[in-house]
Chain A
Amino acid sequence: MYTKTQKFIQQSFIIILMVLLLSPEVNAQGIDFLRSTGKIYSVVAVIVILFSGIFYFLYRIDNKLTKLENHIKNE
């Protein structure tokens, strides 16, 4: 169903996420950065999560609509 570019984007996104979450060195550095200037960057992280959640929802609806459109076209 997915095109090649979509698959590539998904896979690279997952790999980046895994590297960020699992590598302990990157993790420690990232957390030190997030703790700087009164922990303001953790607020930024929260906003990023919020927006990516809404974006994910829109992306899903977009995909669903494309499928429905294709169905109607193929009739």
Chain B
Amino acid sequence: MLKGWWWKFGGAFIFLYVLIGGMTIPLRPGITSVQPSNAKTGENILLDITGYNTHFDQAKNIRAWLKLDSTHAINALKTNAEGPNHLQMEFQIPETAPDGNEVYPLHLIIDNEIDGAFILPNAVFVSRSTDSLMFNPNEWTNGKMDKFHNYTGIQFPYRNILNETIRNTFFHVALWFAMFILLLYGVYYSIRYLRSGNFDNDRLASSYTIVAILYGSLGILTGSVWAKFTWNTFWTNDVKLNMTAIALLIYFAYLILRGIQYDQDKRARLAAIYNIFAFIALIPLVFVIPRLQDSLHPGNGGNPALGGEDLDNTLRMFFYPSIIALFLIGKWMAEILTRYERLKDQYFIKSK
């Protein structure tokens, strides 16, 4: 299927699509910050809200709620837009608090006809006054949440802390997926080499693995940059980080093994066997152990990733093409490397 040259241009073209689409499509509206972030029961508070990609000044019908749970919420008494991303709202926090809670969080929901509805969880923390009464649910049911507007059109989801870096999904995450496909190719050619003894398979196996190692190193570097702006550190003791670092070290040993000037037959055989074992070691390191423990990466310490809310449909439109594009570009690089190795071997064998 991947014969001829069309897939090389296909890879470049798809990557261009991912770059342009992934960088130009805006994020959905969201709430960046709320001031003040705490209040007392029975207090009348004025909230200063900073939004992201919102249109508060153009919207005619802004409604807002502070939500306790699915049935209990209070709505804003007054809203005052001070610009596209600034909003002031007045809330009357009820006298009574849910029983047994000294401090309880309220979630802020804002709805208007341009941006649709969006939420900031744990926006305001309310602490109980000394003379507060038994919980009276009637105070909490005056804000009925209904008739939400829906935003139509293609936009990426807004997540707190992640913000625009959600676009890194197309580059960092896809890089790892492409690396895995390239490693699979490498193992396939290693097995073919062991069965046939044809050196061309050995060259292909080593080229694919080298490009995959390049992708893995880039994955670590890009992940490190992403982590700096979301987890506030270049490296944490997250299980997935440490396990991938170990897996990469195993593959660096493969590079050393290939660099040894040895008799070609033995080196190829050794490298092929090592490659298969390294791949077998990679699977538990990257896919099994991180799932058994809590991790900062999504989809670990519980259900697998790529299901449910981890990946939005608009993200999928660019995430899957990005994997294909990076794989095709990697395959292209691997083939160029193979052709170089082939020429070199031909030349040196002839000159001997």
Chain A residues at the B interface, C-beta cutoff of 8 Å: 31, 34-35, 37-40, 42-43, 45-47, 49-50, 53-54, 57-58, 61, 64-65, 68, 71-72, 75
Question: Cβ of B226 and Cβ of A46 under 8 Å apart?
Answer: yes
Question: Cβ of B337 and Cβ of A61 under 8 Å apart?
Answer: yes
Chain B residues lying within 8 Å of A47, measured Cβ to Cβ, are 19, 171
Known A42-B164, A54-B333; further 9 A-B contacts with Cβ < 8 A: A39-B229, A39-B230, A40-B164, A42-B228, A46-B168, A46-B171, A53-B217, A58-B333, A61-B336
A34–B225 alpha-carbon span in the complex (Å): 10
The digit string for B169-210, where 1 denotes a CB below 8 A from any CB of A, is 001100100000000000000000000000000000000000
Which of B164, B230, B336 touches A37 (beta carbons < 8 Å)? B164
Chain A nearest CB, measured from B216 CB (Å):
11
Question: Cβ of B336 and Cβ of A43 under 8 Å apart?
Answer: no
Chain A nearest CB, measured from B258 CB (Å):
14
Closest chain B residue, CB of each to CB of A31: B228
Inter-chain contact total with CB atoms closer than 8 Å: 69
Cross-chain pairs A/B with CB under 8 angstroms, 10 sampled: A31-B229, A34-B229, A39-B163, A39-B230, A42-B225, A45-B225, A46-B171, A46-B226, A53-B221, A54-B333
Chain B residues lying within 8 Å of A57, measured Cβ to Cβ, are 211, 214, 333
Question: Cβ of B164 and Cβ of A46 under 8 Å apart?
Answer: no
Which of A38, A71, A75 has most chain B Cβ within 10 Å?
Answer: A38
A38–B214 alpha-carbon span in the complex (Å): 29
Which B209-224 residues have a C-beta within 8 angstroms of A? 211, 214, 217-218, 221-222
Chain B residues lying within 8 Å of A58, measured Cβ to Cβ, are 333
Chain B residues lying within 8 Å of A53, measured Cβ to Cβ, are 214, 217-218, 221
Question: Cβ of B163 and Cβ of A46 under 8 Å apart?
Answer: no
Question: Cβ of B340 and Cβ of A46 under 8 Å apart?
Answer: no
Chain A nearest CB, measured from B176 CB (Å):
12
Chain B nearest CB, measured from A62 CB (Å):
10
Chain B nearest CB, measured from A48 CB (Å):
9
Chain B residues at the A interface, C-beta cutoff of 8 Å: 19, 23, 27, 52, 163-165, 167-168, 171-172, 175, 211, 214, 217-218, 221-222, 225-226, 228-230, 329, 333, 336-337, 340, 343-344, 347, 351
Chain A nearest CB, measured from B11 CB (Å):
12
A70–B217 alpha-carbon span in the complex (Å): 31
Which of A45, A68, A75 touches B343 (beta carbons < 8 Å)? A68
Chain B nearest CB, measured from A58 CB (Å):
8
Which of B52, B211, B222, B333 touches A50 (beta carbons < 8 Å)? B222
Question: Cβ of B333 and Cβ of A38 under 8 Å apart?
Answer: no
A39–B165 alpha-carbon span in the complex (Å): 6
Rank and list the top 4 A-B pairs by shortest CB-CB distance, nearest first.
A38-B164, A38-B163, A53-B218, A40-B164
A35–B162 alpha-carbon span in the complex (Å): 11
Known contacts A64-B340, A71-B347, A75-B351; is A39 also within 8 Å of B164 by CB?
yes
Question: Cβ of A68 and Cβ of B226 under 8 Å apart?
Answer: no
Question: Cβ of A46 and Cβ of B347 under 8 Å apart?
Answer: no
Known contacts A38-B52, A53-B217; is A46 also within 8 Å of B351 by CB?
no
Which of A35, A47, A61 has most chain B Cβ within 10 Å?
Answer: A47
A68–B350 alpha-carbon span in the complex (Å): 14
Which of B52, B229, B333, B340 has most chain A Cβ within 10 Å?
Answer: B229
Question: Cβ of A49 and Cβ of B165 under 8 Å apart?
Answer: no
Which of A42, A43, A61, A72 has most chain B Cβ within 10 Å?
Answer: A43
Which of B217, B221, B329 has most chain A Cβ within 10 Å?
Answer: B221
